Structure formats: structure tokens, C-alpha cells
Amino acid sequence: MNAGLALGEDTFADDDYSVLVPSRPGYGRTPLSTGKTTGRFADVTRSLCAHLGIDSVAAVVGISAGGPTAMAMAARHPDLVERVVLQSAVGPLPWPDRRTRIGARLAFGSATERLTWSAVRALMRAAPDVGLRILLSDLSTRPARQALTNLSPANREMVLGLFAGMGSGHGFLNDLSEIGKTCGEVTQPTLVLASRNDGSVPFTHAEALAATIRDSRLVESAADSHFIWLGEDWPALSAEIRRFLAG
């Protein structure tokens, strides 16, 4: 995903926090040259904060494959980052599985990435239910039909909008080649949020994060998929995040 696609930021904005959302290398308009490693991009983001006059952030938030970058940010710049929030985040375990790696290199290579996403968008327009079931089958451990049935009309439209605007660029393949292992170096209070029904990043990653980061707490989501923002308990999780940020 790129920074132009909203996913859960309202939790922070509604509580009067300012939110800075940079696209990671290879996504959106951020070139890979900005920093192919999580550590390098964490340093670039620190420079961006300095340029904007930001000398302290209430939290760095890592979502999915952005988790390692968030942890690198906290580990490398503890004077800037007060807390860490990890949502459906990739942890220190191997990720993704071999089948996904092979499929990703075929579908998201330099010659195929645009074709793949064009096909996804065309399918979403022509047969949205079919398209959602196919995509949810990779995002949920539940039967895709059940996960789709449980989506509210508003959330269904939100997911369709997300996939209509997605494009992995060179970012996803870069994620596969460089996942940092800095969670053991994070010293800030950390809130880990994840669902056992996540078909993209297994719940074992959240458990490993909670076991490795000394000052951490794991809160389980009841969501049907990787998108914990779509779960019925998201309002309660949002309140948990706000209490965490308030200390």
C-alpha cells in the first residue's frame, strides 16, 4: 500500500494526533533508492521529521510488512519515538511462506506487476464478490465466503476501494528480500494487535513480538482477516490504542 490509502489513521486523528504517513521504499512515489533496508529508511524518516520540525512522536505505527520498519525506527531513534504500535505486523519469524514468495516473484515482477493489479481492478469492477472471495482467501484463515458474508456493507465498500487503489510497485519484492530483525532492540512500550484469523501474517508473529519486546502487551483482535480494522471489536481496540498512547 501507499500513503494515499487510508487504513486506521482515524483512530489517531480523531484523538487530535497529527499523523505523518510516508510511503515505504518502492511503494507510491517513494523510490527504492530512498532506502532498501528498514534501517536505512528509518534514518531517512528521522531526517524527514527533523526537516518538518518534529522532535518527538507519540508513537511509530507499523502495519503488516511495515512492522519491521517501525521497529527499526524505534530501535535506531529512541530519542524520537515514545511508543510503538504494531498492527497485524510481521515479526521476527520467517515470512512469507515459500509458496507466497514464488507467487510474488511471478505476479509482482517488473514485467508483471502492473498487469496483475490491472487484472485485480478489472475483476473488482466486473465481479466484486468473486474478487473479494479470491483476495480474502489469502487474508483470512476462515472460509473466504464466510469472511465476505461477515463484512458490513460499509466495510465491503472500503475493501473494494482499497484494492482499487493498491499497487505494489517494487516495494513488495523488496520486503521479501529485506525484513529486519530489530524487535529485540526495541525498548519503548509496545502494543501488539493481531487476529488469530489472519491468513497473511500468522498470529505466531504477534506472539513472537510480544515475547521478544520486553515492555510489550499483546491484544487479540476478533477480526476475520488480516484487516483488523474490519472487526466488530475495532472500536474497542481503538479505545485500547488511545489509552496506550495516553500512558
Backbone angles phi, psi at 246, to 5 degrees: -80, -10
Mean of pLDDT values over 85-89: 98
Degrees to nearest 5, angle at CA 192 with 243 and 46: 85
Residues 6+ apart with CB under 8 A from 237: 193, 219, 221, 228, 231
pLDDT value at position 179?
Answer: 63
Percent of the chain whose predicted confidence (pLDDT) is above 90: 75
Whether residue 22 is preceded by a cis peptide bond, meaning omega within 30 degrees of 0, is no
Q: What pLDDT score does 72 carry? A: 96
Say what the pLDDT of residue 247 is: 84
pLDDT at 70 over 70: yes
pLDDT confidence of residue 12? 96
Averaged pLDDT of the chain: 93
Q: Which has the minimum average pLDDT: 21-30, 73-82, 167-176, 200-209?
A: 167-176
Q: What is the mean pLDDT of residues 48-58?
A: 97
pLDDT score at 178? 64
Please tell me the predicted confidence (pLDDT) of residue 180: 58
Model pLDDT, residue 53: 97
The pLDDT of residue 123: 92
Taking only the tens place, the pLDDT of each residue in 146-188 is: 999 999 999 999 999 888 888 888 888 888 876 656 788 999 9
Residue 86, phi then psi, degrees to nearest 5:
-115, 125
How far is C-alpha 108 from the geometric centre of its chain's CA atoms? 18
pLDDT digits (tens, 9 = 90+) for 114-149: 899 899 999 999 999 999 999 899 999 999 999 999
